[in-house]
Amino acid sequence: MGSPKPVGGLSAVFKLRAWKLALAGPSVFWYFPVFYALLTSSSSVDPIGLAMLFVVMIVSASWGFLLNDLADRRSDAASGRADAIHGHGLSGRTMLALTLITAGFCWAVVFLLGGNYIFKGVLALNYLIAFLYSVPPMKLKVRGFWGFLANSLMERPLPILVFLSYMDYFRVETVLLPVLMELTWSVFKHQAADVHEDSAANVRTFAVLLGEGRSESIVNHFLNPVSVLSLLSLIALAWVSIPTLGFSLAACFTVTAAGVLAAAAIRRAGYVRRYFTPTDPPYIMALNLSYRYVLLPVMAYGVVLLSAPQLPILVLLLITLAYQGYAYVRMVRSYLKAPSPTS
């Protein structure tokens, strides 16, 4: 399949996957650590500054996707992924301009925010790793384990550390929260789900090097069970650390555990034979929904009760959850329309 002729214009810019993935992907996993820090710290955090940092991190995630698509233009064309969402509806120069504009915007806002230099250093490290991940000659993305390690750091742990260091939140949880969040949603699961596509594009991810069978085994027998234990550990940690939400978090723990067990039983009984994505069986979907629509609202309620509530970030959370809810509805519709394996 050839590359579509670049047409430019705002419509082609809006079609880019970079904007949707940043909002539907990593950003939702930053809220829990930030809410946890707000609810367990006595120091005040500027609501506008924190919300602006969230915007910066979302746009920075978009920058990472733009950079990756710009660097992959040739391989995408060779593998049949040269479509508008990957930036092939725009010229290479326009894609380069978008990467420069988004990065420039983010760093301009960062320096306007002020604050300590630690969070700026962590953010710079995140940008450096993203650059090394996508751009030759390093292009860690195609270097097996090193690409997995780089991706594991830059989607959740480093952004979470940016927020916590901006908030001057330096405790044991400063390390524990990023680690548990990554264990709950390891990027390896996405690599395992994309083995066929990456193999066709000659992208040597860690999952491609391990092979489809071994990657699926790692996900099914190790990472998915660890996901459940990690999220339940996060809820338990919050329950111990935030007494004002004790009852709500206990209920959240119960609902999450019950949902996971019920979904696992439904799967074992054979009622569900197809998954939305190959690496997300029903009990993982239940876990994901519980995090978004049970745990995050409980934590947000706690933030509302603060003497200095963080209203701007709560508005951002509502937008994020509304968009992800819309994405889930579309996914369910596609799932229901697809023919069953036995038909």
> pLDDT-based confidence at 132, cuts 50/70/90?
very high
Per cent of the chain over pLDDT 90 is 60
> pLDDT-based confidence at 165, cuts 50/70/90?
very high
> pLDDT-based confidence at 78, cuts 50/70/90?
low
Res 245: pLDDT: 97
pLDDT exceeds cutoff 70 at 118: yes
CA atoms of 78 and 57, how far apart (whole Å): 32
35: helix, strand or coil: helix
Q: Which two tokens stand for residue 40?
A: 């367990």
Res 183: pLDDT: 93
Query: Which residue, 160, 142, 222, 157, is CA-closest to 189?
Result: 222
Q: Is 159 left (phi over 0), alpha (psi -120 to 50) or beta?
A: alpha
CA dihedral defined by 277, 283, 287, 293, rounded to 10 degrees?
90
Instruction: Give the side-chain half-sphere CA count within 13 A for 202.
Output: 9
Query: Which residue, 45, 284, 36, is CA-closest to 160?
Result: 36
pLDDT exceeds cutoff 80 at 266: yes
268 or 116: which leads in pLDDT: 116
Contact between 94 and 19 under an 8 Å Cβ cutoff? The reply is no
Q: Which two tokens stand for residue 328?
A: 């889930």
Query: Which residue, 98, 69, 89, 87, is CA-closest to 203?
Result: 69
The amino acid present at 96, given as its one-letter code, is L
Which range has the worst mean pLDDT, 77-91, 101-115, 289-303?
77-91
Res 343: pLDDT: 46
Contact between 191 and 207 under an 8 Å Cβ cutoff? The reply is yes
Average pLDDT value for the chain: 88
> pLDDT-based confidence at 341, cuts 50/70/90?
low
pLDDT exceeds cutoff 60 at 52: yes
CA atoms of 257 and 229, how far apart (whole Å): 10
Write the DSSP string, 239-252. HHH-GGGHHHHHHH
* Location of structure tokens 């999450």: 256
Q: Which two tokens stand for residue 99?
A: 């990467």
Q: Which two tokens stand for residue 302?
A: 């706690």
343 or 150: which leads in pLDDT: 150
Could you tell me which residues come within 8 angstroms of residue 243 by beta carbon, excluding any fewer than 6 positions away? none
Per cent of the chain over pLDDT 70 is 92
The 8-class DSSP code of residue 339 comes to P
pLDDT exceeds cutoff 80 at 31: yes
How many helices (H) does the chain have, and how many strands (E)? 19, 0
> pLDDT-based confidence at 338, cuts 50/70/90?
low
